[in-house]
Amino acid sequence: MKISASIQAANQLTLLSDINEHSNKFDQLHIDITDGHFTDNIGLSLDIVKQIKTETDYFLDVHLMVDKNPKFVEKVYDNGADLITVHCESSPIDEFEILSNNYKNIGIGILPTTNINSLIPYLEFASAVLLLTVNPGFSNQSKAVDLLQRIEELNHIQTNENILTLVDGGVSNDDLTLLKENGVDIAVQGGAIFG
């Protein structure tokens, strides 16, 4: 299992040095981009993806919590993202199918309050599934759902071993063994890495 460091939890004024200071704690970087519509806040700029890609060698998984997915996906891939996850709540299945045909690493995310069965039509087109376990947009929250139950729900409907499973939101160091034992491929950590 890989650890993806959510840079939203890092010090934005000294971002690159904060990433370098904690580099022994993670394998790749996770970048949340929000638009103020899908979530209540406005997150990191699209330009941050280009900056991080230019200044580091990390694999970048970008989590889009936005309403206009096709527009943002194109720009974020152009800026250097390696994996992009959009949400089933903001991306109709026909739109997601087109995205998956145009881009090789597209994942589908789901909010903690959305029924897991909503993912079923997306799974044949997805490279990854992101289980968001907190309400979106802010760092250092406690989980809004039972972590193990949510993973078990996903494992019940998802049988393709080629699809990566990401868990994002309130993941502590104590959770890591449980996640690994239950087939999670990437654990996203913010506060647990950057404080």
Residue 140 φ/ψ region, left for φ over 0, alpha for ψ in the -120 to 50 degree band, beta for the rest: left
The CA-CA-CA angle for residues 2, 144, 167, to 5°, reads 15
Tokens of 36: 């103020």
Among residues 18, 32, 61, 175, which one is catalytic? 32
Q: Is 32 annotated as catalytic?
A: yes
Q: Is 185 annotated as catalytic?
A: no
Among residues 47, 78, 94, 168, which one is catalytic? 168
> Which residue in 156, 157, 155 sits closest to 185, CA to CA?
155
Active site residues: 32, 168
